[in-house]
Amino acid sequence: MTSTIYQHGTLGLLVPGLFTGTITAAELLQHGDTGIGTLEGLNGEVIILDGHAYQAREDGAIREIAATEKLPFASVHFEDDTATTPLTNLTQAAFEQQLLTEHQLQNVFAGVRIDGTFTHIKTRVAPKQVQPYPTLVEATAKQPEFVGDNVTGTIIGYYAPQLFQGATVGGFHLHFLSTDHQLGGHLLGFEIDHADLKLQSFADFQVHLPIDNADYRQTQFDNQTIDSAINTAER
Amino acid sequence: MTSTIYQHGTLGLLVPGLFTGTITAAELLQHGDTGIGTLEGLNGEVIILDGHAYQAREDGAIREIAATEKLPFASVHFEDDTATTPLTNLTQAAFEQQLLTEHQLQNVFAGVRIDGTFTHIKTRVAPKQVQPYPTLVEATAKQPEFVGDNVTGTIIGYYAPQLFQGATVGGFHLHFLSTDHQLGGHLLGFEIDHADLKLQSFADFQVHLPIDNADYRQTQFDNQTIDSAINTAER
C-alpha cells in the first residue's frame, strides 16, 4: 500500500490538549515504515525511518521507541522505489518553492525524504506535558531549539493540501534526524549542501480516529481555533 | 473493511466546478456497497444501496447507473451486521439531535441508513451541467425539488465531524430513494412514521484524490470559499 498515507488521530485533537496515546508504536508500524508523530504527553518529536521509530527528546537525546509506547498522533507510509533526485545548495524556501511548482504538489499528499548533508539545521522539540494537559499552544509556547552546521542526516515528513489543515498540517510538516542520532526534532529551518530527494505522491489519505477514547468523543472542537493553533504551534 | 468510509474526491473540488468524472461506478463499488455521490457534470444525486448505484435525475426519474459511468465525488462503505433500532414518529431535527446525543457522534464518522415509512420526504436534485462548468453555488442555485407523503423507502448517507468540512460535508449528508424508485435525491427534509435505523461507526476515513487529473492538480482552492459554498449548496 505505497499509495496511502496512514494517519492516526488528527492535528486538531492535539489543539485542546488530547495528548493521551491511543495507538502503540507496534500497531502504527503495521501501517508504514516511515513517518513522523509525537508520543503520549506531547513528549518530543517522533521520526520513523526504515521501520524504526525514534524520539527526539526535549533534553536533546534521541532514543528508539519501544513497541508498547503510545502515540496520540502520527502519520506513516511505506516507502516505494521512487527514484531519488539530487539536490545541491538549496535553501528551504527555494526547495519548497521548487517542489510546489515543478511537481505541482499543491493539491496532493506527498512524502518528502531528503538524505544528505545540510549546511544548517534548526529544530525544536515539544516538551513533555503532564495531566491535566494544557492546550497545544500553551504546551509549545516555550520549546528547546537545537541547531547544527554541516550535519549529515535525514529530513522526513509530508506535504498536505491546505484543504486538510485541521485533520493534519496543511503544507509542509517535516522532522529531522541526524545520522549519528545527535540532532533531531521538528524542523524549523534547513539549508541543503548536497542531498538526495525522494518524493512520493499519495492518491489516498487514510485517517484513523480514536473513536473508543472517551475524551476524544466528548471534546467540542472548533475549526477556527484549530486552524489558528496549528499555524502558531506547527510552523 | 466495514470500519472504513471510502471517499473518492473531495466536496471541496466540486466548489470551483471540477465536475468531470474521475472514477467509474465499477471501481467505486469495489470500495463499498452503500453510499452517496453525484455523476459527471453534477448530473443528479447518486444513491448506492446493496451494491447497486442509482441516479435521481433532475426530471424526477430514477435509473440504475452503468458500470462505466463516472463520478467526480462519492462516499461508500460496506454495510456491517449492526443491529437496527426502531424509530417511530420522529422529526428530522429530533432524529439528528437523538443521534448526536445518544450516540455521541460529534467527532465520529458514521453511516446512517433508515429503512421505513416516512410521513413526509422532501428532496432536491442537482441539474446536469455542461462545460465550461460553473461553480457549485451557481450550479445549485436553482434545483428541482420533489416531495412525497407516506413514502416507503431508504435514507442513506453520513455524519462527518465538522473538522472534515471541506474534505466532505461536515455534519449530516443524506440522500433518499423510495422503494418504488419514484422519489429520490438529496434529502432536504423528512419525518419518520416508523422505520429501522442502522447506524455504523467508522474508525477510518479514506480519501482517494484524483491526482492524475490535470484540472485538479492546477486548481487554486480556498478553504473559506469552500466552507461557505458547502453551507450554501449542501444544506
Spell out the domain ranges in chain B: 4-233
The DSSP secondary-structure symbol of B180 reads T
What are the E-state strand segments in chain B? 4-8, 23-24, 34-38, 45-49, 52-56, 62-64, 70-71, 73-77, 85-91, 109-124, 145-160, 171-178, 184-202, 204-208
Share of chain A above pLDDT 70, in %: 100
Q: What is the pLDDT of residue A234?
A: 85
At B230, which helix (H) or strand (E)?
Answer: helix B223-233
A·B CB contacts under 8 A: 84
CATH number of the domain located at residue range(s) B4-233 in this protein: 3.30.1330.80
Nearest to B158 by CA among B71, B73, B35: B35
Task: List, for residues A204-225, the tens digit of each pLDDT value.
Answer: 999 999 999 999 999 999 999 9
Q: How far from chain centre, in Å, is Cα B235?
A: 11
Mean local confidence (pLDDT), B114-118: 98
Interface of B with A (CB under 8 A): 4, 10, 12, 104, 106-109, 161-167, 201-209, 211, 216-221, 223, 226
Give yes or no for residue A235 having a pLDDT over 80: no
Of A202, A205, A223, the CB nearest to B163: A223
Distance CA A17, CA A70 (A): 16
Please give the C-alpha separations between residue A11 and each of A218, B157, B199, in angstroms, as whole numbers: 17, 26, 27
Residue B234: pLDDT band (50, 70, 90) is confident
Q: What is the pLDDT of residue B46?
A: 98
Residue B166: pLDDT band (50, 70, 90) is very high
User: Measured between beta carbons, which residues in chain A are less than 8 angstroms from residue B165?
Assistant: 223
The Cα of B104 is separated from the nearest Cα of chain A by a number of Å equal to 7
ipTM exceeds 0.95, yes or no? yes
Mean local confidence (pLDDT), B111-131: 98
Of A201, A205, A221, the CB nearest to B107: A221
Chain mean pLDDT for chain B: 97
Record: contact B223-A104, CB cut-off 8 A: no
Mean local confidence (pLDDT), B78-83: 92
Q: What is the pLDDT of residue A1?
A: 76
Mean local confidence (pLDDT), B91-112: 95
Q: Which residues pair with B194 in a beta bridge?
A: B88, B117
Residue A37: pLDDT band (50, 70, 90) is very high
Which amino acid type is present at position B92? Q
Distance CA A51, CA A38 (A): 16
The Cα of B22 is separated from the nearest Cα of chain A by a number of Å equal to 12
Task: List, for residues A7-17, the tens digit of each pLDDT value.
Answer: 999 999 999 99
Other Cβ atoms closer than 10 A to B132: 6
Share of chain A above pLDDT 90, in %: 97
Mean local confidence (pLDDT), B1-11: 95
3-state secondary structure of B227: helix
Q: What is the pLDDT of residue B164?
A: 98
Residue B71 and residue B47 in contact, taking contact as beta carbons nearer than 8 Å = no
Give yes or no for residue B1 having a pLDDT over 80: no
What residue of A is the nearest CA neighbor of B161?
Answer: A221
Q: What is the pLDDT of residue B82?
A: 85
Nine cell digits for residue A155: 529530513
Task: List, for residues A90-133, the tens digit of each pLDDT value.
Answer: 999 999 999 999 999 999 999 999 999 999 999 999 999 999 99
Give yes or no for residue A229 having a pLDDT over 90: yes
